[in-house]
C-alpha cells in the first residue's frame, strides 16, 4: 500500500517535470548545435563564440539554436536567423562578398607582391 | 628621394585607415532590424495576461528592454515616466521588456520607482534574441504598421524620444 502511494506520488510529480523539460538533442544534433554556435560571436564577450561563453545571453542563444534544430531548421537557416537580427557582425567568419573580399584577397595579394619584390631584389643583388 | 616618396605611398594609406578606425566606436553598430517588420511576440505581462504584437497593431510602440540590475536603466526610468505622462493621450504604447531579471525584483522596483510602461516578461530571452538585443537598455521605435523605425542603445533622453515620436507620426 505504501509502495502504491509512492508510485502515485512519483508519477504525478515526474510527468509534469518531464513535460516541462524539452527533450534533449541526440549526440549528432548536439555536435551540429556546437558547430553552429562556434560560428556565432557572443554579443557580450570579446571575440569568442557563443559555444565558449558562460554569459547568460550566449546560453539563451545556444538554446535558440537547439530549438531551431528541433524544428528541423538547417545550419544555413539558423545562421541567417541570427544574421538578420544582429547583423553580419554576429558571424565570426565574414562572408566572402563585397568589401569583405578585401579580407580574403589582401593577404594573398600582399604575399604575391612580396614574392615579386624578393624576386627582383635577389636578381639585383646577384647581378 | 624616391624611397621617401615610396615610404609615404605605402605608409600613408595604412596610417589613414588606422586613424579612420580610431574615430569609430566599435560598440556602435547599426541595428540590422531597422526598416524590418517587428518580430511577433507573445509574452505575459505582470498581471499574467498574454500580450502579442498583433494585439497592439495600429499603435506606435516604444519597446524598451530593461532590467532592475542595470544602472543606466535607472536613469532612463525618469525619462520614460515623463514620456508616458506627456503622451498619455496619443496613439503610443510604452512596453518594458524585462531582460534577464526576476519578477520579484521587477515588482519591487516598480513599486518604488513607478511604472511608466506595460511590463512584459521574457524569461527565456526569446523576444530579446528575436529583436537582436545585446544588452540593456535598448529601445525600439515601432510604427503603427509594425515596422521598426529606429533602435537606440543606451540611455534615452527626452529630446531624442520627442524627435523619434515626431518621425513616427
Q: List the single residue in B with minimal CA-CA distance to A45.
A: B134
Distance separating alpha carbons of residues A96 and B75, to the nearest angstrom = 42
Is the CB of B135 less than 8 angstroms away from the CB of A44?
Answer: yes
* Domain residue ranges in chain A: 2-93, 96-127
Supply the CATH classification number for the domain A2-93: 1.10.8.640
CA–CA min distance A13, chain B (Å): 23
| pLDDT of A125 higher than 60 | yes
Four-residue CA torsion sign, A110, A116, A119, A121: negative
CA–CA min distance B133, chain A (Å): 8
> At a CB cut-off of 8 Å and minimum separation 6, what does A68 contact?
A77, A78, A81
C-alpha cell at B84: 508616458
ipTM of the complex: 0.84
C-beta atoms surrounding B109 within 10 Å: 21
Which of B132, B138, B148 best probes binding to A when mutated, by most A CB atoms within 10 angstroms? B132
What pLDDT is recorded for position B147? 96
What pLDDT is recorded for position B61? 97
Q: List the single residue in B with minimal CA-CA distance to A56.
A: B100
Q: List the single residue in A with minimal CA-CA distance to B39.
A: A85
Confidence class for position A95, pLDDT limits 50, 70, 90: confident
CA–CA min distance B73, chain A (Å): 17
Phi and psi angles of residue B159, each rounded to the nearest 5 degrees, phi first: -60, -45
Residue ranges of domains in chain B, CATH in brackets? 33-168 (3.40.30.10)
What pLDDT is recorded for position A62? 97
Mean per-residue pLDDT over chain B, rounded: 93
> At a CB cut-off of 8 Å and minimum separation 6, what does B135 contact?
A43, A44, A57, B153
- Helix, strand, or coil (residue B42): strand
What pLDDT is recorded for position A19? 47
> At a CB cut-off of 8 Å and minimum separation 6, what does A36 contact?
A65, A69, A75, A78, A79
| pLDDT of B102 higher than 80 | yes
Is the CB of B132 less than 8 angstroms away from the CB of A86?
Answer: yes
Mean pLDDT, residues B118-146 taken together: 96
Is the CB of A87 less than 8 angstroms away from the CB of B36?
Answer: no
pLDDT, tens digit, 9 for 90 and up, residues A35-91 = 999 999 999 998 899 999 999 999 999 999 999 999 999 999 999 999 999 999 999
Mean pLDDT, residues B105-131 taken together: 97
Residue A9 DSSP class: H
Q: Which chain A residues touch B132 with a CB distance below 8 Å?
A: 85-87
B32 at the A interface (CB within 8 A)? yes
A94 or A108: whose pLDDT is higher?
A: A108
Report how far apart, in Å, the C-alpha atoms of B90 and of each of B2, B80, B87, B106 are: 69, 15, 5, 26
> At a CB cut-off of 8 Å and minimum separation 6, what does A35 contact?
A75
Which of B134, B138, B140, B151 best probes binding to A when mutated, by most A CB atoms within 10 angstroms? B134
A52 at the B interface (CB within 8 A)? no
Amino acid at each position: 500500500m505504501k509502495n502504491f502511494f509512492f508510485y502515485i506520488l512519483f508519477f504525478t510529480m515526474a510527468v509534469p517535470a518531464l513535460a516541462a523539460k524539452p527533450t534533449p538533442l541526440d549526440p549528432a544534433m548536439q555536435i551540429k548545435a556546437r558547430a553552429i554556435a562556434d560560428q556565432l560571436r557572443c554579443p557580450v564577450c570579446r571575440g569568442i563564440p557563443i559555444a565558449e561563453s558562460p554569459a547568460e545571453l550566449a546560453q539563451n542563444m545556444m538554446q535558440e539554436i537547439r530549438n531551431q534544430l528541433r524544428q528541423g531548421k538547417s545550419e544555413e537557416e539558423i545562421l541567417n536567423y541570427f544574421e538578420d537580427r544582429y547583423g553580419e557582425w554576429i558571424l565570426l567568419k565574414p562572408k566572402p562578398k563585397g568589401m569583405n573580399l578585401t579580407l580574403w584577397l589582401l593577404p594573398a595579394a600582399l604575399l604575391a607582391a612580396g614574392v615579386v619584390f624578393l624576386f627582383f631584389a635577389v636578381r639585383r643583388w646577384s647581378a | 628621394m624616391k624611397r621617401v616618396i615610396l615610404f609615404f605611398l605605402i605608409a600613408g594609406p595604412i596610417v589613414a585607415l588606422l586613424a579612420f578606425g580610431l574615430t569609430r566606436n566599435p560598440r556602435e553598430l547599426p541595428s540590422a532590424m531597422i526598416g524590418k517588420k517587428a518580430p511577433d511576440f507573445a509574452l505575459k505581462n505582470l498581471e499574467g495576461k498574454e500580450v502579442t504584437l498583433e494585439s497592439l497593431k495600429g499603435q506606435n510602440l516604444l519597446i524598451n528592454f530593461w532590467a532592475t540590475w542595470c544602472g543606466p536603466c535607472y536613469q532612463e526610468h525618469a525619462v520614460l515616466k515623463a514620456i508616458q505622462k506627456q503622451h498619455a493621450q496619443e496613439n503610443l504604447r510604452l512596453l518594458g521588456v524585462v531582460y534577464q531579471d526576476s519578477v520579484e525584483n521587477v515588482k519591487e522596483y516598480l513599486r518604488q520607482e513607478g511604472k511608466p510602461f506595460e511590463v512584459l516578461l521574457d524569461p527565456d530571452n526569446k523576444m530579446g534574441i528575436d529583436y537582436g538585443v545585446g544588452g540593456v537598455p535598448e529601445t525600439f521605435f515601432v510604427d503603427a504598421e509594425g515596422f521598426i523605425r529606429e533602435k537606440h542603445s543606451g540611455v534615452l533622453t527626452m529630446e531624442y524620444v520627442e524627435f523619434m515620436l515626431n518621425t513616427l507620426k
